[in-house]
Amino acid sequence: MTPAALALACSLALLIGLSLGAVGGGGSILAVPILIGVAGLAVDEATTASLVVVGTAAVVGLVAHGTAGRVHWGTGVAFGAAGVGGALVGTRINRALDPDLLLTGFAVVMLVVAARMAQGLRHPDRATPAADVPSGPLPAPVPVERPAGTPRWSDGASLRRYVSAPATAGARAAAPAAPDPLTATTSSPGGWTARRVAEVVATGTAVGLLTGTFGVGGGFVIVPALMLVLGLPLAVATGTSLLVIAINSVVALGLRGGLDTVDWSVVGPFTAAAAVGVIGGRRVADRVPTRTLTAALTALITVIALWTGARGLAGLT
Residue-wise pLDDT for 122-164, tens only, equals 765 543 333 333 334 444 544 545 555 554 444 444 333 333 3
- pTM more than 0.75: no
Nearest to 144 by CA among 165, 129, 125, 173: 165
Nearest to 239 by CA among 118, 67, 121, 80: 67
Identify the residue with better confidence: 140 or 265: 265
Identify the residue with better confidence: 196 or 81: 81
Q: What is the pLDDT of residue 123?
A: 67
The H-assigned helical ranges of the chain are 3-23, 31-37, 43-67, 73-96, 99-122, 194-214, 219-230, 234-255, 264-287, 290-316
Conformational region of residue 145, where left means phi above 0, alpha means psi within -120 to 50, and beta covers everything else: beta
Q: What is the pLDDT of residue 169?
A: 44
CB of 281 within 8 A of CB of 61? yes
What's the whole-number average pLDDT of the chain?
74
Q: Which amino acid would we find at residue 104?
A: T
Question: What's the N-to-C CA distance of the chain in angstroms?
Answer: 28
| Cα–Cα dist 105/61, whole Å | 28
| Cα–Cα dist 44/168, whole Å | 74
Nearest to 241 by CA among 233, 275, 194, 53: 233
Q: What is the pLDDT of residue 84?
A: 87
Identify the residue with better confidence: 58 or 181: 58
| Cα–Cα dist 232/243, whole Å | 14
186 pLDDT exceeds 70? no
Identify the residue with better confidence: 172 or 148: 148
Lowest mean pLDDT among 51-60, 267-276, 288-297: 288-297
Q: What is the pLDDT of residue 191?
A: 62
295 pLDDT exceeds 70? yes
Backbone angles phi, psi at 138, to 5 degrees: -75, 145
Q: Which amino acid would we find at residue 135?
A: S
Q: What is the pLDDT of residue 285?
A: 64
pLDDT above 70 covers what percent of the chain?
A: 74
| Cα–Cα dist 195/197, whole Å | 5
Q: What is the pLDDT of residue 278?
A: 80
